[in-house]
Structure 1
């Protein structure tokens, strides 16, 4: 059985924007958080591509990663992930090839196959490009060619990018990417921080389909985990209401700007909304140190995960910093 001390821990950040703040502060907080978890010994710091969301400032993922890499020294930086249907693979290869050239050995590229946006935003992103989730396997192969050694018959190259061998991860919340990651021998990250329902089945599919590759000789599973850590369970439950309000707003199609915590969610959500938010946070680690330790040990026993990547959607930035400190101290 794996213990917390046996696995890597990492951070996923969405550069959240507060109702009383703005994107500049959110991006500065991302850098401060990356520097904080680097000192605490976290393995990697990923940011996620989202568009047309007023509460998330990480839309220009590659640009943000460059900012974070310039302000840190050792932690790995990456995308968790880039939504590949939104982009031509060559553009992503050039962006992440540039990052890997400037910051060698520190850049990861996590790839998602969902557009991650509504149809209007998707059209604004792509214009006349006919990218879709159905193209995902071919797009991944195209990216691998751009990052690999240049071949004599290669007409299109990524420069920078060619020969950089940027590590690719496949991300998913369903079974498609799990199977593809296994077949290609790539590391796999499951989005259990917002869609935990298929987690166990996706891990099984990935491991059953895994074929050793030049990248991996055995499966490597990373799981996304929501984290609301505090000095005691009661304080954590109170702080978690900010995250609950944000997902409730997502369900209702309202503003995603962060809201301050409230003493109780009673009266703020309807029964079916409470259930939907609860399912979203089904894997959440909410509590004081001992409660979090116990829940993490159960998760590791059930999944055998190799790495956990934590996202902490808390209103007060000092509380977010403290939450990651609590987790680091449990190891």
Structure 2
């Protein structure tokens, strides 16, 4: 059996808002997508915490997960991720403990150490709370204590939360979380959907530092993969221009609302911007089914990843649904 046939597929939804749409439409689409990939047999469906971005509607991550859980039946749901420096660990334990209590066996918690926002927004989120990425290892440990079994003389408990043992993943786009995930024996998800440059080194660091735990007896790697699949290579290249425009807007600090595809990016970006967008999307699977299949097989052969989690930033929602149908048929 090929590595592609054995690999697990999942979805990371950025809950995109179109230039002619609104947040309500984006949130309803997120549920429809979760239901769609659940029918296709995908393993998990994650949403990410972003703030102060007019084109992304997933800022209240735990609230959105409750909506998604109520509208699905079996797919695992989680954060990809919650940006822990923005929150007191107790608050996250209570939120995800509540979700896990309502939907047992279906909720998981992916954690990141970046703010997921600009400096001003990070200050607005935290107010007087003294927290930073440097506190991440201690915050993860504190969160694990709240979600684990209650101990004698424990002064602070998460209720709901204590004893739920919500599965924790560590996420990263550099090497810090890779090493921490390995040392703690936790599953690791690398953000290769926007930072492919350090992917191979991060996987190596994670596996080299891995210590078996009560959670895992061997390393488990999931990779973020941008997906722009269509019936033909030419159609996929056309649809990809929406993603190009969005990354270009991110680089320029402009509005991130989705824009429709264009026949050519010529004149829309400067040479150095084209290079930056190409680097950002270096792992993107753009093409018809056979081209996507070939690229996925190479990726799995080179990395030995256990699971792939796809982002799909297409303008037309029907095209997004179809892209996931196409990739599901490749296994």
The answer to whether TM tops 0.5 is yes
* Residue deviations 1:258-283 (CA, integer Å, cap 9, x gap): 00000010100000000000000000
SS in 2 for 1:163: coil
Q: How does 1:261-272 map to 2 (within 5 A)?
A: 261-272=261-272
Residue 77 (structure 1) aligns with: 77
1:3 CA displacement: 1.4
Match of 1:293 in 2: 293
Which residue does 1:104 correspond to in 2?
A: 104
When normalised by structure 1's length, the TM-score is 0.99
Q: Where in structure 1 are there 5+ consecutive unaligned residues?
A: none
Gaps of 5+ in 2: none
- SS in structure 1 of the partner of residue 283 of structure 2: coil
CA contact (8 A) 1:193 1:226 kept: yes
Aligned partner of 1:137 in structure 2 is 137
Decide whether the 8 Å contact of 1:191 with 1:223 is kept in 2: yes
TM-score between both structures, scaled by the size of structure 2: 0.99
Compute the displacement of 1:2 (Å). 5.4
Distance 1:107 1:84 in 2: 17
Query: Which segments of structure 1 move beyond 2 Å, counting only runs of 4 or more?
Result: none
Aligned-residue Cα RMSD (Å) equals 0.7
State the Cα distance separating 1:7 from its structure 2 match: 1.2
Deviations 1:147-180 (A, max 9, x none): 1000012100000000000000000000000000
Alpha-carbon separation, structure 1, partners of 2:102 and 2:94: 12
CA deviations over 1:233-259 (Å, ceiling 9, x no partner):
000000000000000001111100000
- Which string of whole-angstrom CA distances, capped at 9 and with x for unpartnered residues, describes residues 54-100 of structure 1? 00000000000000000000000000000000000000000000000
> How many residues are matched?
331
How many Å separate the matches in 2 of 1:11 and 1:202? 21
Cα distance between partner residues in 2 of 1:4 and 1:79: 25
1:45 offset after TM fit, Å? 0.2
Asked if the contact 1:79/1:109 (under 8 Å) is kept, the reply is: yes
Distance of 1:161 and 1:35 partners within structure 2:
26
